Amino acid sequence: MQDLENYFNTLFEGKEPDTLYAPIAYTMQQSGKRLRPQMVYHVVKMFGGDVSQAKYVAAAFEMLHNFTLIHDDIMDKAPIRRGLPTVYQKWNTNCAILSGDALAIMAFQQLLKLNMPERVILDIANVFATCTLEICEGQQYDMDFETQEEVTIEEYIRMIYLKTAVMFAGCLKSGAILSGADEESREALYQVGINLGIAFQLADDLLDVYADTEVFGKSVGGDIRDNKKTYLYLKAMQDATPEEKKALRQCYESSEMPFDERFQKVKDFYERLQTADKTRHAIHLYLEKSLDELDKVRVPSEKKAILREVISNLEQRSK
């Protein structure tokens, strides 16, 4: 992974105009968790693939991920990302939009640097392009849900499948393609990523209410502030009595109540309905499904140890 960090540190040097590339460098040099590129490397090592080529696929997915964050922060009016001002806050909205666009294009360029057979490059590019479009679909559903009065848990899971999970799945499958893995293993790894990604987003929903802000790296309560219908909200609405449901909706959607009071009241509803514990249980079930799919990957068990550890560690995620 240090090879990837060094790559990001030099990739934007000397590029002009600075107002386009400085926001990109600012974003990419905040290392974050680098969970998605790690997925690529883990799979390539699992199958004994060419780690030097993994850098370009890992970079492409991490750049795509950061492009989505730059634009999501604008749409969500988020002030902080990874403990620092978001790009549109540090520069301005127009700079953030254009820098995000440029970063998405640069992500695709990484795949053109692969020194692999044409079929391999095309297969990875197809996974990457499909993933990119699906993320946009998921983001649109997420925005639609903000004004949609009724959203089911099934609809929500479908949305995070698109917005979050397909990128985890794409990283794992692309690493398998790069390494010449068999078709069954590729598809199993894709499903590992889908279940892992859904669990990751449910954990994100939980952390938005219960995280330590300093550890989490961004403000808590943003989903409630923006009237986002998260898993916690939908689960609480599903489990509430008609009277509780009405009161929770009024509180959640209130534009008059001070935010701190609103946040605490919503949190109180979650406590009464044991929503946090139910969300943790759902996370556990998706991680179990992810481990079940990992068992189908056709390599010796010991080669899966690192990926198994990544999946298991997500249950204790704090940021």
Backbone angles phi, psi at 75, to 5 degrees: -65, -35
Per-residue pLDDT of the chain (319 residues; tens, 9 = 90+): 788 888 998 888 889 999 999 999 999 988 778 999 999 999 999 999 999 999 999 999 999 999 999 999 999 888 988 889 999 999 999 999 999 999 999 999 999 999 999 999 999 999 999 999 999 999 999 999 988 989 999 999 999 999 999 999 999 999 999 999 999 999 999 999 999 999 999 999 999 999 876 666 667 898 998 888 999 999 999 999 999 999 999 999 898 999 999 999 999 999 999 999 999 999 999 999 999 999 999 999 999 999 999 999 988 876 6
Give residue 60's domain range: 2-316
Instruction: Say how many domains are in the chain.
Output: 1
First to last CA, the chain: 20
Tokens in use for 296? 């189908």
CATH number, domain of 306, equals 1.10.600.10
Q: Which helix (H) or strand (E) holds 42?
A: helix 35-46
**Residue 246 CB-density burial (10 A; 0-12 exposed, 13-18 middle, 19+ buried):** exposed
- Separation in Å, CA 162 to CA 201, 265, 296: 11, 31, 23
Query: What's the pLDDT score for residue 255?
Result: 87
What local confidence, expressed as pLDDT, does residue 317 receive?
A: 78
The residue among 98, 17, 10, 126 whose CA lies nearest residue 59 is: 10
CA–CA distance, 71 with 212 (Å, rounded to integer):
24
Strands (E), the chain: 80-81, 84-85
List residues bridging with 85 in a β-sheet.
80
pTM for the predicted model, two decimal places? 0.94
